[in-house]
């Protein structure tokens, strides 16, 4: 924006859609006003302009920009904002303009509180107004699962999965026996998954074949990281498919990367994971049922570290829900009731409101801390903490990589660490494993590669903290590093 254009806007004074702040010393109040504008018709907060409309500007440092970014992360859901820095000629000062347009993602909260504009004043939003916006948002979300998709046909759906739902529903008494004798189209219509002969979005979420595209939000991201941060991953997998497929893939990933112990009870052996299987399964089910599917870019994410599991879901926590309670209750109506109903028929979802209480009680009963649950940047995150010692198994990836938690590489190395190792670097790493103590010259000779190439690979592996050099400069060599 040009300075003259900005001055013309400033000359009109403050209103519902524009507010002045002398500097970012009033950043908190400015963010509250921005929240109010997000809940209204949009608008701009201008820093560097006094209340009476005088352009004063301010010096903008990297620290100023970091403070703004930090405050923006306190919004829920995460807003789309336009930030401009307009220089004032012949000075080192600038004017900061943060603008939002009208959006359907209301209501917004800043640091857990909703705000609204009354003419040129920002005030806390009354509870009834907040609930009106929340209900409107809820209707728009649930409306998406009921919408039909003309480009889909019955052949795009997995009939076997639909039949499985019918069979389990009838066996558990949750569906009438007549469902057995009905054709697929009739069943889908009765389950509100087909309307006027067309497939709904809910049906796609539940039963779309894996190879069918058009729903990028049907994505599950899974990673097993080395250590307690996300610098190096050992296994990284993404799957696309319907929710029942994603649930199976999620549980398989947990079994692959969590310690499995057995306890004999009577005639049967009971297998236990580092974190209770029931708690993890319930967490994934709730994520799949309650997430916001109307945004194509969303996904469910699973990250396993040495000391915790994080499950991240695209959505937001209703303000009414108290997650600090030992027996928390979920919102009485799920974001996607049609989708939730099919989970109920499958016997994987018993009734509304029990999920979080079950997750917490399972962890406590297993001697683990209660999971942490929080909402940030438009996502809900559930963290399952555990001790490193309780999950001291080797980690095996689909690519054949086996990496014990003590840092020793075993077996065949065909994967990628941190997404950066190429085939030649992996070959070098394999050689070091099987010929520990070798120096660069020996490795180059053994692999029949140029010395400079191997030297480059060695430097990369050292930088990634995967290998280390032991011994003197003259007689030493390289080893897999113990973590």
Q: 179-237 pLDDT, tens per residue?
A: 888 999 999 998 989 998 999 999 999 999 976 678 999 999 999 988 888 877 788 89
pLDDT averaged over every residue in the chain? 83
Rounded CA-CA distance 476/458 in Å is: 14
**Rounded to whole angstroms, what are the CA distances from 324 to 25, 109, 327, 329?**
33, 19, 9, 11
Higher pLDDT, 80 or 70: 70
Q: Does pLDDT of 82 surpass 50?
A: yes
Q: Under a CB-based contact definition with an 8 Å cutoff, are residues 117 and 37 in contact? A: yes
Q: Does pLDDT of 317 surpass 70?
A: no
**Rounded to whole angstroms, what are the CA distances from 99 to 1, 17, 37, 365?**
12, 9, 9, 49
Share of the chain above pLDDT 90, in %: 42
Average pLDDT over every residue of 274-284: 92
* pLDDT confidence band for 414 (50 / 70 / 90): very low
pLDDT at 148: 92
pLDDT at 183: 92
Q: Does pLDDT of 161 surpass 50?
A: yes
* pLDDT confidence band for 381 (50 / 70 / 90): very high
Q: Under a CB-based contact definition with an 8 Å cutoff, are residues 49 and 56 in contact? A: yes
Q: Does pLDDT of 270 surpass 70?
A: no
pTM tops 0.95: no
Q: Which of 217, 419, 446, 189 is nearest to 313 (CA)?
A: 217
The mean-pLDDT minimum among 39-43, 172-176, 332-336 falls in 332-336
pLDDT at 416: 40
Average pLDDT over every residue of 18-40: 94
pLDDT at 185: 93
pLDDT at 138: 66
Rounded CA-CA distance 382/259 in Å is: 20
Rounded CA-CA distance 190/184 in Å is: 10
């Amino acid at each position: 924006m040009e300075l003259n254009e900005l001055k013309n806007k400033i000359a009109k004074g403050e209103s519902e859609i524009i507010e002045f702040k002398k500097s970012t010393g009033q950043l908190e109040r400015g963010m509250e006003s921005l929240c109010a504008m997000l809940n209204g018709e949009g608008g701009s907060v201008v820093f560097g302009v006094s209340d009476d409309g005088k352009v004063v500007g301010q010096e903008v440092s990297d620290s100023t920009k970091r403070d703004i970014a930090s405050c923006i992360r306190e919004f829920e859901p995460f807003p789309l904002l336009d930030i401009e820095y307009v220089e004032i000629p012949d000075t080192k000062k600038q004017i900061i303009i943060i603008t939002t347009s009208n959006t359907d993602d209301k209501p917004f909260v800043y640091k857990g509180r909703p705000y609204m504009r009354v003419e040129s004043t920002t005030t806390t939003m009354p509870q009834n107004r907040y609930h009106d916006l929340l209900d409107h948002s809820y209707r728009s979300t649930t409306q998406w699962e009921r919408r039909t998709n003309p480009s889909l046909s019955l052949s795009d759906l997995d009939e076997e999965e639909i039949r499985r739902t019918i069979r389990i529903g009838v066996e558990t008494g949750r569906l009438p026996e007549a469902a057995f004798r009905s054709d697929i189209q009739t069943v889908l219509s009765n389950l509100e998954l087909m309307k006027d002969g067309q497939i709904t979005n809910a049906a796609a979420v539940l039963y779309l074949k894996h190879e069918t595209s058009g729903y990028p939000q049907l994505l599950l991201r899974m990673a097993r990281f080395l250590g307690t941060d996300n610098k190096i991953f050992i296994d990284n997998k993404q799957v696309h498919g319907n929710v029942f497929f994603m649930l199976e893939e999620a549980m398989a990933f947990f079994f692959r990367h969590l310690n499995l112990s057995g306890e004999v009870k009577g005639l049967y052996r009971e297998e236990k994971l580092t974190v209770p299987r029931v708690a993890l399964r319930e967490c994934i089910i709730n994520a799949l049922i309650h997430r916001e599917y109307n945004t194509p870019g969303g996904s469910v994410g699973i990250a396993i570290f040495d000391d915790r599991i994080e499950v991240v879901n695209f959505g937001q926590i209703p303000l009414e829900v108290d997650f600090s309670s030992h027996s928390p209750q979920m919102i009485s109506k799920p974001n996607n009731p049609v989708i939730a109903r099919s989970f109920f028929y499958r016997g994987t979802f018993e009734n509304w409101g029990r999920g979080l209480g079950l997750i917490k009680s399972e962890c406590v009963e297993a001697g683990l801390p209660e999971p942490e649950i929080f909402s940030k940047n438009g996502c809900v995150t559930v963290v399952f903490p555990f001790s490193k010692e309780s999950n001291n198994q080797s980690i095996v990836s689909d690519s054949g990589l086996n990496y014990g938690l003590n840092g020793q590489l075993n077996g065949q190395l065909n994967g990628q660490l941190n997404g950066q190792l190429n085939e030649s670097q992996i070959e070098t790493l394999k050689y070091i494993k099987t010929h520990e103590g070798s120096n660069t010259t020996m490795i180059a000779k053994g692999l029949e590669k140029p010395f400079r190439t191997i030297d480059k690979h060695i430097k990369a592996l050292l930088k990634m903290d995967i290998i280390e050099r032991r011994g003197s400069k003259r007689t030493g060599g390289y080893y897999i590093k113990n973590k």
